[in-house]
Chains A and B, each alone.
Chain A
Amino acid sequence: MKDIESVIKNIDTCPTPAGLNKSIVSRIQILEQKRSRQRASFFGLFSIVSFAGLVMSFKALWTNLASSGTYEYISLLVSNPSDATTFWKEISFSIIESVPLITLSLFLVLALAFIISSFKTVENIESKLIIA
């Protein structure tokens, strides 16, 4: 078998067609640009939607905080620090109980979604500019 093996081993490598390397790299660049454009559009749209949701959830949170009495407990903390230190446990529990948790959670999730999608949008726009 050695004879055949040595012949195959010593076969001259065929030269690659001229421009094949450039052609591959430019095709990949076109695909990269297309992908960046699609991602930037998707995350851009997502950041707009999440921002609208964020504004609405902020309004709802503000209203709920006002109606739940959380402000009163917080103002008690600020206005009368000596009582606050004496009854810190009771005041803390009252604040936690009065906080509108669902609205607050929704607000935080939307804030996170907005931050991430904005970051991704900028990242993909930058990437598209670098490739271009």
Chain B
Amino acid sequence: MELTDQEIIESYIEGNKESLNILVNKYLSHIYNFVKRLYNNESDATDITQEVFIKVWKNIRKYNPNQNFKTWLFTIARNTTVDWMRKKKVYTFSDLESPDDDESFGDKLIDSEPLPEAIFTQKELKTNLEKLLIVLHPDQKTVILLHISEDMTFDEISKVLKKPLNTIKSHYRRGIEKLRKNIVNAPNLID
């Protein structure tokens, strides 16, 4: 029977050093991929991922068992990545504080009709999606990646970003819309 995250953590706190290894193995790929897509830098993603797990180790005794471990872990991953981006001046503080949306949100959402197959194929889009993600604000990227790739609910993501649920939903819709526009307007991104 597979142990729950809570049981693994308890086992580690009780002195089973191997438990942390299990936890690292379980989430390494998720965290690495999340960080890599959020930051879009492969070599730094490795360092950030290491930093994330070290922070988890340092704070594991402060972890609240009533909280979802995955939410807690991704909060650390997101904060570590954003701190890293600030240090490297990838984004300024104000960029990270509020998504750069100069368009008024709401009515400008386009119908969700399928993207024209003439411009790109699904396979090509897959290959270049990371390039397209660059245009998104980190918060929008975080919401999209966590909701779609990690199957997290908007409620869980609102805990990760410590923002209201409606803001999260808005980030999501704006982010998806921005992606769609960029694909249509810049087909050269697709090799």
Which positions in A face B, CB cutoff 8 Å?
A: 1-5, 7-17, 20-21, 23-25, 27-28, 31-32, 127, 130-131
12 sample A-B contacts, Cβ–Cβ < 8 Å, listed by A number? A1-B180, A7-B122, A8-B149, A10-B122, A11-B129, A15-B29, A17-B46, A20-B49, A21-B24, A23-B50, A24-B24, A24-B28
Asked if A8 and B32 sit within 8 Å, CB to CB, the answer is no
How distant is A122 from chain B, measured CB to nearest CB, in Å? 14
How distant is B190 from chain A, measured CB to nearest CB, in Å? 12
8 Å CB interface, B28-63 against A: 28-29, 32-33, 36, 46, 49-50, 53-54, 57-58
Asked if B20 and A25 sit within 8 Å, CB to CB, the answer is yes
Asked if A21 and B28 sit within 8 Å, CB to CB, the answer is yes
8 Å CB interface, B1-32 against A: 15, 17, 20-21, 24-25, 28-29, 32
Within 8 Å by CB of B50, from A7, A13, A15, A27, lies A27
Asked if B114 is at the interface of the complex by the 8 Å CB criterion, the answer is yes
Within 8 Å by CB of A20, from B32, B54, B58, B122, lies B32
Within 8 Å by CB of A13, from B33, B57, B173, lies B33
Asked if B129 and A3 sit within 8 Å, CB to CB, the answer is no
Report the nearest A residue to B145, measured CB to CB: A8
Asked if B112 is at the interface of the complex by the 8 Å CB criterion, the answer is yes
Report the nearest B residue to A24, measured CB to CB: B53
Within 8 Å by CB of A16, from B29, B114, B129, B144, lies B29
Given contacts A2-B112, A3-B112, A5-B148, contact A16 B20 (CB under 8 A): no
> 20 other contacts beyond A8-B149, A20-B32, A25-B20, with CB at 8 A cut-off?
A1-B176, A1-B180, A2-B112, A3-B114, A4-B176, A7-B125, A8-B145, A8-B148, A9-B149, A11-B126, A13-B33, A15-B29, A20-B46, A20-B50, A21-B24, A23-B50, A31-B58, A32-B17, A127-B15, A130-B17
| Size class of the B contact interface (CB-based, 8 Å) | 35 or more
Once the chains are docked, how many angstroms separate the CA of A86 from the CA of B32?
A: 80
Asked if B152 is at the interface of the complex by the 8 Å CB criterion, the answer is no
Once the chains are docked, how many angstroms separate the CA of A11 from the CA of B123?
A: 9
Asked if B149 and A4 sit within 8 Å, CB to CB, the answer is no
Asked if B90 is at the interface of the complex by the 8 Å CB criterion, the answer is no
Chain B residues with CB below 8 A from A28, complex form: 20, 53-54, 57
Asked if B115 is at the interface of the complex by the 8 Å CB criterion, the answer is yes
Given contacts A2-B112, A3-B115, A24-B24, contact A9 B50 (CB under 8 A): no
